[in-house]
């Protein structure tokens, strides 16, 4: 949607600017190695709405590292900030490392350890105390692996999807940590990817299962309800679908859409138009002329939200479609948007400028204070891998505007608490002098959704409650604008980000 720039407020101007990625500016590749060269950062995963990363080292010990939200770098030299647990199951057996989950009880990591009988069991490490609180979730003689929990801070307990071996056959299952070790198998043909994707705000997940198409049976997008224990196949078009997911699209006012990698060439986007099956509305692909065009490892932005009216996806573009010999790998960010003729497509790894051929894999996004970063592993010639952080140029906040108008330490805006929240959160701020104050909340499109304060206030510390019961889940920004009544202290504007999760 086109807007007249001259009619925009400073906040809306910046929202519009980061939506269009400032065409006048040239994006420069900034892709650097992280951590210590002697450390293996295997299967890094990033905390939704937080600033932490979990990874496994070469001894199968799991660590939690803290990230700098401005630069995306590790806060420490090695990332060994918090020891989570040791002697985890090797990744070749468990198929994935620790994954983030959350409930009203707090943030936790879910992972696999092998017991004394050689059986893989699911474990949970709840964070928050000085050391993680560890608990075994599954028991019995059947191995459990490939666990994918959901991240819903307002729900009483975490539900999780995982695979279970029974009589040398895989049974896809799900469980509830409050009912562990009880598990619920759902008997459908196993998905090729072996991965489920939880739908934020629901108790359902999407998964690839076999369904009919005009050319025969292929993997289709399906949705499984843990409440009713029923499976519904959502698509019926051609093309094998893998890496299926669901996300809330700012292009359609936060409507739930579905995506899948199709035949390793496209990212198909589907919308529910109240037909028997989902409707294909867009196909994203690597631009014509690129050598690497086979798509894999597609994921929406962490948190399932877009920015500036655009839904973004990270993906690998490989030289071949052979999973055992993919050849050169390139890390891409692709955007949906409503402008079909100018969709966002950007390669962000250093191979774009150096021409170096390398295996690059496992891209994961992290939303910093001002920008989206992508992290991935790069295979080295000695057989080890290297953790790298790449800038994307996708802006997530209006920090530049705030910095330009921020006076010397006269005022202060605090981060809201709790964050994420549902539906109430508190916003605190400090005034060193009497001021005319405006405190407002905006959505990701820059639309004002609430005015919390619009009054003259004396110097002091303030806290205001914000109730978002009438808003949908997503990312919001709150902005404090203040200035002394005598005009001596200048004008202060600062914006921060908050997350509403229902």
Q: What pLDDT shows up at residue 325?
A: 87
Omega within 30 of 0 (cis) for the link into 420? yes
**Helix-strand-coil split of the chain, %, nearest 5:** 5, 50, 45
How many angstroms separate the Cα of 502 from the Cα of each of 4, 13, 200, 464, 467?
34, 29, 8, 21, 12
Task: Confirm if 85 and 134 have CB atoms less than 8 A apart.
Answer: yes
- Among the listed residues 228, 114, 106, 246, the one whose alpha carbon sits nearest the alpha carbon of residue 177: 106
The answer to whether the CB of 203 falls within 8 A of the CB of 230 is no
CB-CB contact of 125 with 170 (8 Å): no
- pLDDT score recorded for residue 130: 78
Model-wide pTM > 0.85 = no
Written out in words, the top-level CATH class of the domain with range 399-500 is mainly beta
Helix (H) or strand (E) holding 400: helix 399-405
Cβ neighbors of 206 (< 8 A, separation 6 or more) are 196, 197, 199, 221, 222, 223, 224, 234, 244, 245, 246, 258
From residue 300, how far is each of 116, 364, 501 by CA, in Å? 38, 9, 17
Q: Per-residue pLDDT for the chain (502 aa), expressed as one digit of tens each? A: 333 222 323 333 333 333 333 343 588 999 999 999 999 999 999 998 789 999 999 999 999 999 999 999 999 999 999 999 999 999 999 999 999 998 888 899 999 999 999 999 999 999 976 789 999 999 988 899 999 998 887 788 999 999 888 766 778 889 999 887 778 877 655 444 567 899 988 889 999 999 999 999 999 999 999 989 889 999 999 999 989 999 988 898 888 999 999 999 999 999 999 999 999 999 999 999 999 999 999 999 887 777 778 999 999 999 998 888 888 999 999 999 988 889 999 999 999 999 999 999 999 999 888 899 999 999 988 878 999 999 999 987 544 444 444 444 467 888 888 888 888 888 888 887 888 899 999 987 778 999 999 999 887 778 788 999 999 888 899 999 887 655 444 567 888 888 888 7
**CB contact at 8 A, 312 and 251:** no
Query: Cα separation of 254 and 267, whole Å?
Result: 19
Q: CA nearest 60: which of 102, 92, 108, 100?
A: 92
Per-residue confidence (pLDDT) for residue 21, from 0 to 100: 37
Q: Which residues of 406-418 are buried (b: 16+ CB within 10 A; e: fewer)?
A: beeebbebbebee
Phi then psi for 15, rounded to 5 degrees?
-60, -45
């990591």: which residue's tokens? Answer: 109
**DSSP string over 222-265:** EEEETTTTEEEE---SSS-EEEEEEEEEGGGTTEEEEEEEETTT
Among 163, 169, 52, 41, residue whose Cα is nearest residue 112: 163
Residue 23: what pLDDT?
Answer: 40
22: left (phi over 0), alpha (psi -120 to 50) or beta: left
Distance CA 192, CA 75 (A): 37
Q: Where is 194: in which H helix or E strand?
A: none
Q: Are 385 and 41 in contact (CB under 8 A)?
A: yes
Chain-centroid distance of CA 184 in Å reads: 27
pLDDT given for residue 492 in this prediction: 79
Cα→Cα distances 366→53, 123, 254, 372, Å: 9, 25, 20, 6
Cα separation, 380 vs 433, in Å, equals 57
Q: What is the pLDDT of residue 9?
A: 33
Structure tokens at 68: 């700098």
> How far apart (Å, rounded) are the C-alpha atoms in residues 502 and 224?
19
Cβ atoms within 10 Å, residue 149 = 26
Structure confidence at residue 22 (pLDDT)? 36
């Amino acid at each position: 949607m086109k807007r007249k720039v001259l009619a925009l407020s400073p906040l809306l101007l910046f929202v519009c600017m980061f939506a269009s990625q400032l065409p006048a500016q040239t994006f420069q590749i900034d892709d650097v190695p992280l951590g210590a060269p002697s450390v293996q950062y295997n299967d890094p995963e990033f905390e939704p709405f937080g600033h932490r990363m979990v990874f496994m080292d070469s001894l199968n010990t799991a660590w939690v590292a803290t990230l700098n939200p401005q630069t995306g770098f590790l806060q420490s030299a090695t990332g060994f900030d918090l020891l989570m647990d040791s002697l985890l199951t090797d990744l070749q057996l468990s198929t994935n490392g620790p994954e983030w989950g959350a409930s009203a009880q707090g943030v936790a990591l879910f992972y696999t350890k092998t017991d004394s009988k050689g059986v893989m069991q699911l474990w949970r490490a709840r964070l928050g105390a000085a050391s993680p609180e560890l608990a075994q979730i599954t028991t019995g003689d059947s191995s459990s692996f490939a666990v994918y929990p959901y991240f819903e801070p307002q729900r009483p307990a975490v539900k999780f999807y995982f695979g279970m071996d029974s009589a040398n056959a895989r049974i896809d299952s799900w469980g509830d940590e409050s009912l562990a070790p009880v598990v619920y198998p759902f008997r459908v043909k196993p998905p090729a990817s072996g991965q489920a994707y939880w739908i934020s705000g629901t108790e359902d997940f999407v998964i690839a299962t076999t369904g009919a198409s005009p050319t025969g049976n292929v993997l289709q997008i399906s949705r499984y309800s843990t409440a009713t224990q029923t499976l519904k196949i959502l698509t019926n078009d051609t093309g094998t679908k893998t890496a299926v997911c669901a996300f809330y699209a700012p292009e359609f006012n936060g409507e739930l859409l579905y995506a899948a990698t199709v035949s390793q060439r496209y990212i198909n986007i589907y919308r529910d138009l109240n037909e028997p099956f989902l409707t294909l509305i867009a196909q994203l692909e690597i631009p014509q002329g690129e050598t690497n065009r086979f798509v894999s490892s597609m994921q929406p932005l962490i948190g399932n939200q877009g920015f500036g009216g655009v839904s973004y996806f990270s993906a690998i573009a490989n030289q071949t479609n052979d999973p055992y010999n993919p050849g050169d790998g390139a890390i891409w960010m692709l955007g949906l948007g409503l402008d079909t003729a100018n969709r966002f497509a950007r390669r962000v790894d250093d191979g774009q400028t150096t021409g170096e051929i390398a295996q690059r894999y496992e891209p994961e996004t992290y939303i910093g204070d001002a920008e989206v970063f992508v992290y991935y592993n790069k295979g080295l010639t000695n057989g080890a891998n290297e953790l790298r952080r790449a800038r994307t140029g996708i802006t997530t906040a209006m920090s530049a505007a705030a910095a330009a108008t921020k006076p010397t330490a006269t005022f202060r805006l605090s981060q809201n608490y709790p964050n994420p929240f549902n539906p109430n959160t508190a916003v605190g701020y400090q005034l060193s002098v009497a001021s005319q104050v405006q405190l407002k909340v905006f959505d990701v499109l820059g639309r004002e959704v609430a005015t919390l304060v619009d009054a003259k206030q004396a110097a002091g510390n303030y806290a205001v409650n914000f109730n978002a019961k009438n808003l949908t889940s997503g990312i919001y920004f709150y902005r404090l604008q203040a200035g002394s009544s005598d005009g001596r202290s200048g004008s202060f504007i600062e914006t921060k980000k908050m997350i509403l999760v229902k």
